[in-house]
Structure 1
Amino acid sequence: MKRALTALMASCVVGGWVSAASAQAHVQPKHEIAFNRYYTVDQMYAHLRALERAYPEIVRVRSIGKSGEGRDLLVATVTAPDSDDRAKPAMWIDGAIHANEIQAGEVCLYTVWYLATNYGHNDRITELLDDYAFYVMPLVNPDSRVAWFETPSTPHNHRANQMKMDNDRDGLVDEDPAEDLDGDGSITQMWKRDPRGQWVRNRFDPRVFERVPDGEFGEWTYLGSEGIDTDGDGRVNEDTTDGHDMNRNWPADWQPNFVQYGAGAYPLSAPETRAIAEFCYERPNIAAFQSYHNTGGMILRGPGSSHRAREYPRADLRVYDELARAGEEMLPYYRYLIIHADLYNVHGGEATWASEGLGIIAFTNELWTAGKYFQRDVNDPNDEQMRRFRDRMQFGMTFTDYTEVEHPEHGTVLVGGLNKWSSRSTPTFMLEEECHRNFAFTMFHGGEMPKIAFDRTKVERIGTGGLWAVTVEVRNEKIIPTRTARAREKKIGRADLLTVEGVEVVASGELGDWWDKQMREVRHEPGRVLVEGGVPGRGSVVYRFIVRGQPGETLDIRYSSEKAADIATTIILSEQAD
């Protein structure tokens, strides 16, 4: 019996148990990165450069331009060794166009790290990089990330870039920035003792201020955000260093500032948005697009305003729906939503520009959601639930204790409260999972970029005179077509091209299916067919060529697409070919 068990174990080792275990074994990275913390711009860029040094055959990092303050705009190209990224479909991935949405940068960094680390070790990752390329830009807005980390901030400010802007429209620029009166690095709250105030402090937890009933007096008055009215206009911190909202600066449905606040002087007026647009326009092989933001746990698609709904054909919506429904399964507590219908109007958004202007499938993920605090259906936790979570799980790190500060206008005030880490950003102990789940969804999207191949072929002799009917089928095994309906309708980019060389092509045309007897004839250049509709997702196109040649002659057939790797085949004129 013992011998039999030993033999069984040995056969299992040889037969596959070891390979299964090996597939799940830990891959030792050549460059370690901790994903339970957040990184400054310099640290983020240092990690990108280190990944390039560790995996030079897979990762290439380049600057595609300069930010408004002169910082490099780094993009990592990730693809298989010894391959041309422009000769295969590619996906653009970026993060933190709103710099306060900080975990977007970490998700992008995780993407580069995971792909590079697992290439050659994980079959799925290896196949992804063999077939596709990924252009990853972790920090669209590096200037404001520096400002968010290094200057007083709330969870919500430093969203825009750092271009000079008259935020309060008084003719002055940046004259009333935020002031950190207690020196904790955050802009919190100010309270003043007032015998006729409307608030009292909770006797069990003095961090909590409670409003008194109408008609009664409390002990405190809420003064608003921590700061000083520097310019004397009655408002505090209303003209900071923040400038234009770069997610309102794109050509798709761009509107001027009086319609869409923060839009900039004209589309792509920000150097960061212009650099990205030029990069994408120069690479028509980009077939998918993902932008990371926060917060709310959303997978968003356009349009950004209701009057643009017609810009999203039904055929494309079926693709969006299939991809995003899978995303809802992969991202617990995330919802698939339409920007204008389920969120708010966005004119000049980046992802809508990718959809409407580039004609590709584009999503925006709003990272993190309150439901994940509790790992159950508590999508709108109340203040008390949030206090318990922050106290018990984050050990008070998101709260600054109240201290007395002398204020030039109000005298002695209390300053403190929730700091800039208290909302929007994923708690660091949960960050790696957030990175991985969003990365996995984006790889699912990217892994459904077009992949075409010649399928069935048939050669038939037609009567006399050396005429032959050659029928070929080109199949796409992926969800995303080689040309979206949007690209076809608006003639975005070049149509796919099917060519025949080596013999005289007398006529050609498309068939409705493989068994169709009639073809829709190509009227000009029958040997060079423009396939305006491309190859549909999980579908095929069938074309027939009437050629003149002798038995044994060959014809070279090539299918070329901007969004798919080119394919070619050689067919011999022979009645046995089928």
Structure 2
Amino acid sequence: MKTTKLIVGLAFSALSLTSITANAQDKFFQAVGTPYMPKVEIAFNRYYTYEGLVDNMKKIAAAHPDIAKIESIGKSYEGRDMMTLTITDFSTGPDTDKPAMWIDGNIHSNEIQGGEFALYAAWYLTEMHADNEFIQQLLKDKTFYITPTINPDARNDFFNQPNTANSPRSGMMVLDNDRDGLNGEDGMDDLDGDGHITMMIRKSPTGRFIKDPQDPRKLIMVGADKVGEYEMLGQEGTDGDGDGRVNDDGVGYYDPNRDWGWNWQPDYIQRGALRYPFTLPENRNIMEFVMKHPNIAGAQSFHNSGGMILRGPGAEEDVSTYNREDIRIYDAIASKGEEMIPGYRYLTVYKDLYSVFGGELDWFYGTRGVFTYSNELMNSYLYFHKPSQGRGQDEMFEVDELLTMGDAFVMWHEFEHPQFGTVEIGGFKKTFGRAHPGFLLEQDAHRNAAFTIYHAYHTPKLSVMDVKEEDLGGGLKAITATIFNERLMPTHASQDLKHHIERPDYVTISGAKVVAGFVVEDEDFKKFSEQKMNPEKIAVANIPGMTAVKVKWIVSSGSNYTITVDSAKGGKASWKK
């Protein structure tokens, strides 16, 4: 009797589950290009702490074990695990045998949305895999290494401690901003306890400001011949060390994007650098991971803000590093990115912004020959789909009024200040301006993820084709094979070739007795370069993008043979007779 009840119970449970699934399917209809009934539900209209990011990453790996794995690549300064997702179709080979794309975000703590954008890329790849043929083929061919936050301590500091939209940039409090010996001990004072460092004003008979009668959020400076009602006291806070400046010791400042081992300069040359390259454990963890994964051919680092697709060099002194052939590839991919992400512009760091020494972007390319972009996320164009034309805060007030319904601004309110008496505190929240408001997050995340997928797609893809045999007589025959790179990026960047960063590509024939082996330099004019040592395994310096390389063997036997290609950044390919 108990057995019968158990069977009936299980059958009822199965029927209930089927019914629930059917009912859920009745309630949804797939939108084009979006995961339908995802295994992992993630809301991309809000931000996640370090713990929230890791929780979502673990859910992705658990829900998609055949295409996603999670691991810690090291510890942060405060001991948090730096979690990385490896995403590829493991049934088609190990991740290290395929060209790979590195994606990270949030190197600066206030540049928070890089974490969500990188997470979105991981979520989209895994959730779309089951039903999308393009993603299926992409993960057969490629690997993605995704680390949403590479500054986990400072990410949480931004959320959990009082800050402005521009603070802090770093994690460890080790530097003394104003050189008064305090190293940030007096902290940033959140007088009203709302988590946002806004502004302070005070009524004054000699004030230069009045509140806009039409909009009390706004302060208007009066004319030179008039007296206002308020004086501007500056940032919310106190003068903790008596030097006359408020919150000047908010955090000890360093810049994790000045810590990388390429064209590094000390702090007295460029403010923000630490003692030596890779002083920071977070950056050192990434460096060690990348060095262990020579298959990484492309990289993307998400920053904010301004709506830019950036490439190096970071400094004019490094212009000669970026070869014209590689710049053509950078230009081709980024120009497509400008189409994919409206309002974003393709720029060069040193020429269009400022000099950066010891930056991540230059380290990836300079030391590893990896084609790397840094996208500066968020652009005011996204608000009203028109250029802001330098409207600055006027536009921010308009956005807050029309699109965020007043949620972006802390209204002026009185506070008894220990040093200034009665003041009013108010202003824009720390999560507005540089960071996307929630309603813009998912669309911009998708467009930027699509750009990184396009970049990854154009990492090398090799194939062996057009294998020909020629009878030479005397028991000898020539075998010629064409190795074709079907994508834009070469197997070796010019920087790689210049400094011999990575090993050559190898084209090997097995199952035949090889007498001689050659790289075909010009088949029409019979120009060949012979490899006398180990002729069965021919070393090819580079296989350019959208280009073929030919190799040739003279063999004395072998009717059934296999030709294989092994490239660190180009992956593997084979052909069998």
Contact 1:23 1:121 (8 Å CA) reproduced: no
1:517 CA displacement: 1.5
Residue of structure 2 equivalent to 1:414: 424
Of residues 528, 537, 549 in structure 2, which corresponds to 1:541? 549
Q: Following the alignment from structure 1 to structure 2, what is the Cα–Cα distance between the partners of residues 24 and 235?
A: 52
Q: Given the alignment, which residue of 343, 348, 364 partners 1:354? A: 364
Counterpart position of 2:58: 49
Q: Aligned with 1:432: secondary structure?
A: helix
Match of 2:502 in 1: 493
- Deviation at residue 151 of structure 1 after TM alignment: 1.0
Q: Quote the Cα distance in structure 2 between the aligned partners of 1:504 and 1:55.
A: 45
Rounded Cα–Cα distance in structure 2 between residues aligned with 1:370 and 1:539: 40
Gap change, CA 1:334 and 1:214, over 3 Å in 2: same
Shift of 1:430: 1.3
Task: State the distance in 2 between where 1:380 and 1:168 align.
Answer: 31
Distance between the aligned counterparts of 1:163 and 1:61, measured in 2? 30
- Secondary structure of 2:481's aligned partner: strand
The CA distance in 2 between the partners of 1:526 and 1:379, in whole Å, is 63
Note if 1:334 corresponds to 2:344: yes
- What corresponds to 1:518 in structure 2? 527
State the alpha-carbon separation in 2 of the partners of residues 555 and 473 from structure 1: 15
Aligned: 1:559 with 2:565: yes
SS of alignment partner, residue 58 of structure 2: helix
Distance, in Å, in 2 between the alignment partners of 1:126 and 1:490 is 35
- Residue number in structure 1 paired with 2:5: none
Task: Label 1:433 to 1:242 Cα distance change in 2 as closer, same or farther (>3 A).
Answer: farther
> In structure 1, the residue corresponding to 2:454 is in which secondary structure?
helix
Distance, in Å, in 1 between the alignment partners of 2:559 and 2:482 is 20
Alpha carbons of structure 1 residues 453 and 39: separation in structure 2 relative to 1, 3 Å: same
Q: 1:102 aligns with which of 89, 99, 112?
A: 112
Where 1:439 maps in the other structure, the secondary structure is: helix
SS in 2 for 1:126: helix
Matched, 1:228 2:238: yes
Q: Partner letter of residue 543 of structure 2? A: V
Instruction: State the partner residue of 2:6.
Output: none
C-alpha displacement at 1:250, in angstroms? 0.5
What are the Cα deviations for residues 333-360 of structure 1, in whole angstroms up to 9, with x where unaligned? Answer: 0000001001111111111111111101
**Displacement of 1:163:** 4.2
Aligned to 1:239: 249
Distance 1:418 1:23 in 2: 36
Q: What corresponds to 1:7 in structure 2?
A: none
**Which residue number in structure 2 is paired with residue 60 of structure 1?**
69
Structure 2 runs not aligned, ≥5 long: 1-29
Shift of 1:523: 4.8
Query: CA 1:512 to 1:380, structure 2 compared with 1: closer, same or farther past 3 Å?
Result: farther
Give 2:14's aligned residue.
none
Give, as a single letter, the amino acid of the residue that structure 2 aligns with 1:562.
Answer: A
Post-superposition Cα deviations, 1:530-550, rounded to whole Å, max 9, x if no partner, equal 212x11101110122233x14
Label 1:379 to 1:453 Cα distance change in 2 as closer, same or farther (>3 A). farther
Seq. identity, %: 42
Superposition TM-score, scaled by structure 1 size: 0.91
Q: Of 355, 371, 378, which aligns to 2:381?
A: 371
Separation (CA, whole Å) in 2 of partners of 1:140 and 1:69? 13
The residue aligned with 2:21 is none
Alignment map for 1:244-259 (pairs within 5 Å)? 244-259=254-269
Read off the aligned partner of 2:71 and give its amino acid letter.
R
Q: Secondary structure at the match of 2:139?
A: helix
CA displacement at 1:470 relative to structure 2: 1.9
* 2:38 counterpart letter in structure 1: P
Q: How many residues end up aligned between the 2 structures? A: 547
The corresponding residue for 2:7 is: none
CA contact (8 A) 2:107 2:150 kept: yes
Letter in 1 for 2:402: R
Which one-letter code corresponds to 1:542 in the other structure? Answer: K
Query: What amino acid is aligned across from residue 365 of structure 2 in structure 1?
Result: S
Give the drift of 1:81: 3.9
Correspondence 1:530 to 2:539? yes
Write the letter of the residue equivalent to 1:177.
G
Query: Quick check: 331-340 or 370-379, which moved more?
Result: 370-379
Per the TM alignment, residue 520 of structure 1 is displaced from its structure 2 partner at its CA by 2.5
- CA shift at 1:376, angstroms? 2.2
Say whether the 8 Å CA contact 1:246–1:263 is kept in structure 2: yes
Q: Quick check: 1:301–1:338 contact (8 Å CA) kept in 2?
A: yes
Deviation at 1:486, TM superposition (A): 1.2
Query: What pairs with 1:146-545 in structure 2 (closer than 5 Å)?
Result: 146-378=156-388, 380-464=390-474, 466-532=475-541, 534-545=542-553
**Cα displacement (A) at 1:513:** 4.4
What is the letter of the counterpart of residue 241 of structure 2? D
Match of 1:91 in 2: 101
TM-score by length of structure 2 reads 0.91
Deviation at 1:54, TM superposition (A): 1.5
* SS, match of residue 290 in structure 1: strand
How big is the shift at 1:554?
A: 4.2
